[in-house]
């Protein structure tokens, strides 16, 4: 069977950046920053992304492009004995399951964004009953949460059913530029409001005293989540990439876009918090730290939008459209991991594979929605704090210890012979073999609160 491919470098970049840029950038990066030391967190996050996440990203892209296979098939192709075959199965299936777990909670949060997107629409059309219903979801009243989770999952499935070029690439190339435009317009608006400059200062001026091991490990977890690492998403996208491309360069562009947009989103969210304060909203919690997490996105910001009068409705719509788009281009990349596995290893058609994986994941989301208190945090932490970094170690080990070094170098140099003598080639193979796994293991010692 003919495998799909991205039709152009731009298409790949939009799709991979679409995967990387998501709620992790626009929600958890700014809120993590608000919680842990403002500028100090930003500085550490930027450094760690380039020291650790970028090399791990390169491991995934390289394996994917070399093997042209889904995550399980790819690792199986690299394996060369019984032990490494078992390791390939464990890491590969672990990636498929973890991608499914991440999507199951991500779709719930994305559902919140969708429901809030309709609030201004209900306000403008005067449907007050609908408006009240849209924001009425809670752990004790999860009906509307479930409804919007299901709608979001259906959208994700519709795009994935269309395949690589007509689904993932086409939609990412449409949605990513609109995301950027919305972000820039919102920043310009917020910056002109009273209070914004105080926020900018908190965001940008690092206080060195805030740097501690908690912050370090927290920032590392954030950068792995943000670059979609560990679960095979980038590996699968790399497998749809032509052998003509210069991988280290493409990977670097991707990492730059991802941190660039996270950083830019901070320019929106943190100043917006202080604009809300100037408009009379409480932005510190009882413990004296900045309000973060769902309360920031679903309470502080909406109350800021309300205080802006009628323009507030447009701003609210633009903001939740931005969030929903960011979530959708990420969720499709998560679903592609199990779908490509079912197509290539289990012989299903794309439509069938999408239906099977999509409905199983929606069932898992439903279980979480209706047992929110017990399951949500557990699934988020298990997938992002433990499994993602652990699988990241597994992928680095495949590149560093199982893949023959000469073949690795040949594979990267394919399409870009100049890479052979580059600094990247001198450092990266050794780096990904020893430093990356060791340092990622450090993350596991730490609990990261993403949402
Ligand atoms: N990188 C996405 C974000 O920042 O929101 C989250 C994500 C996407 C994680 C895809 C894992 C994944 F496979």
What pLDDT, in 10s, does the model give residues 78-119? 999 999 999 999 999 999 999 999 999 999 999 999 999 999
Whole-number pLDDT of residue 443? 62
- More confident site: 88 or 242: 88
Does 1 have pLDDT greater than 90? no
Whole-number pLDDT of residue 196? 95
330 CA to centre of ligand 1 in angstroms: 6
Whose Cα sits closest to atom 10 in ligand 1? 228
pTM of structure: 0.93
Does 425 have pLDDT greater than 80? yes
pLDDT in tens, 167-184: 999 999 999 999 999 999
20 CA to centre of ligand 1 in angstroms: 5
Whole-number pLDDT of residue 444? 65
209 CA to centre of ligand 1 in angstroms: 30
Whole-number pLDDT of residue 249? 93
What average pLDDT score do residues 64-72 get? 97
Whole-number pLDDT of residue 446? 58
Q: Are 16 and 64 in contact (CB under 8 A)?
A: no
pLDDT in tens, 327-374: 999 999 999 999 999 999 999 999 999 999 999 999 999 999 999 999
- More confident site: 293 or 161: 161
Q: CA-CA distance, 315 to 421, in Å (whole number)?
A: 50
Does 445 have pLDDT greater than 70? no
What average pLDDT score do residues 179-197 get? 93
What average pLDDT score do residues 285-294 get? 82
Ligand 1 atom closest to residue 330's alpha carbon, by position in its atom list: 8
Q: Are 39 and 205 in contact (CB under 8 A)?
A: yes
Ligand 1 atom closest to residue 333's alpha carbon, by position in its atom list: 10
Whole-number pLDDT of residue 440? 78
- More confident site: 377 or 31: 377
> How many C-beta neighbours within 10 Å does residue 423 have?
9
Does 209 have pLDDT greater than 80? no
Does 3 have pLDDT greater than 60? yes
- More confident site: 283 or 211: 283
**Which distant-in-sequence residues (6+ apart) come within 8 Å of 68 by Cβ?**
3, 239
pLDDT in tens, 360-409: 999 999 999 999 999 999 999 889 878 888 899 999 999 999 999 999 99
Rank 48-62, 65-79, 211-225, 430-444 by mean pLDDT and report only the highest. 65-79
Q: Considering the chain, what percentage of its residues have pLDDT values greater than 90?
A: 72
Whole-number pLDDT of residue 258? 95
Does 451 have pLDDT greater than 60? no
What average pLDDT score do residues 273-288 get? 88
Extract the tokens encoding 201: 């200062």
Q: Candidates 16, 53, 233: which one to mutate for ligand 1, based on the most atoms within 8 Å of Cβ? A: 233
Buried b (16+ CB within 10 A) or exposed e, 170-184: bbbbebbeebbebbe
Extract the tokens encoding 355: 């239906």
Whose Cα sits closest to atom 8 in ligand 1? 228
What average pLDDT score do residues 232-246 get? 94
53 CA to centre of ligand 1 in angstroms: 13
Write down the H helix ranges in 279-349.
293-295, 301-307, 310-346
Whether 332 lines ligand 1, by a CB cut-off of 6 Å, is no
Does 222 have pLDDT greater than 90? no
Whose Cα sits closest to atom 12 in ligand 1? 228
Q: Candidates 105, 160, 226: which one to mutate for ligand 1, based on the most atoms within 8 Å of Cβ? A: 226
What distance, in Å, lies between the first and last C-alpha atoms of the chain? Answer: 40
276 CA to centre of ligand 1 in angstroms: 29
3-state class of 58 per DSSP? helix
Whole-number pLDDT of residue 308? 85
In the predicted model, what is the mean pLDDT of the chain?
Answer: 91
426 CA to centre of ligand 1 in angstroms: 30
Whole-number pLDDT of residue 33? 85
> How many C-beta neighbours within 10 Å does residue 418 have?
10
Does 449 have pLDDT greater than 70? no
């Amino acid at each position: 069977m003919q495998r799909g491919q991205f039709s152009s470098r731009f298409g790949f970049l939009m799709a991979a950046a679409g995967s990387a840029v998501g709620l992790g950038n626009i929600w958890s990066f700014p809120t993590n920053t608000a919680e842990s030391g403002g500028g100090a967190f930003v500085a550490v996050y930027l450094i760690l992304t380039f020291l650790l996440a970028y090399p791990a990203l390169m491991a995934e892209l390289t394996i994917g492009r070399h093997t042209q296979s889904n995550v399980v098939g790819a690792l199986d192709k690299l394996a060369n004995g019984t032990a490494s075959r078992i390791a390939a199965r464990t890491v590969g299936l672990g990636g498929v399951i973890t991608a499914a777990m991440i999507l199951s909670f991500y779709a719930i949060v994305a559902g919140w964004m969708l429901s809030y997107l309709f609030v201004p629409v209900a306000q403008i059309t005067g449907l007050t009953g609908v408006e009240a219903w849209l924001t009425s979801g809670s752990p004790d009243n999860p009906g509307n949460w479930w409804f919007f989770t299901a709608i979001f999952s259906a959208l994700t499935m519709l795009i994935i059913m269309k395949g690589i070029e007509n689904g993932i690439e086409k939609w990412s190339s449409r949605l990513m530029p609109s995301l950027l435009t919305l972000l820039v317009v919102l920043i310009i608006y917020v910056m002109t409001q009273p209070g914004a400059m105080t926020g900018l200062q908190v965001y940008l001026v690092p206080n060195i005293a805030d740097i501690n091991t908690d912050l370090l490990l927290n920032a590392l977890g954030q950068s792995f989540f943000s670059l979609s690492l560990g679960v095979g998403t980038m590996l699968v996208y790399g497998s749809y990439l032509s052998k003509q491309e210069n991988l280290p360069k493409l990977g670097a562009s991707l990492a730059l876009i991802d941190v660039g947009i996270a950083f830019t989103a901070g320019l929106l969210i943190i100043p917006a918090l202080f604009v809300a304060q100037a408009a009379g909203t409480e932005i510190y919690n009882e413990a004296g730290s900045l309000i973060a997490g769902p309360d920031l996105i679903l309470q502080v910001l909406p109350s800021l939008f309300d205080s802006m009068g009628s323009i507030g409705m447009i701003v609210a719509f633009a903001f939740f459209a931005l969030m929903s788009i960011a979530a959708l281009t990420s969720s499709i990349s998560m679903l592609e991991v199990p779908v490509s596995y079912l197509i290539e290893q289990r012989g299903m058609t794309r439509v069938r594979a999408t239906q099977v994986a999509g409905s199983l994941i929606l069932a898992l989301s439903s279980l979480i929605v209706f047992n929110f208190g017990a399951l949500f945090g557990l699934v988020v932490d298990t997938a992002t704090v433990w499994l993602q970094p652990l699988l990241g170690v597994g992928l680095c080990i495949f590149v560093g210890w199982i893949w023959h070094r000469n073949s690795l170098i040949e594979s990267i140099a394919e399409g870009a012979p100049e890479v052979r003598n580059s600094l990247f080639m001198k450092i990266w193979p050794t780096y990904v073999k020893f430093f990356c796994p060791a340092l990622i293991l450090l993350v596991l010692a730490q609990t990261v609160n993403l949402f």
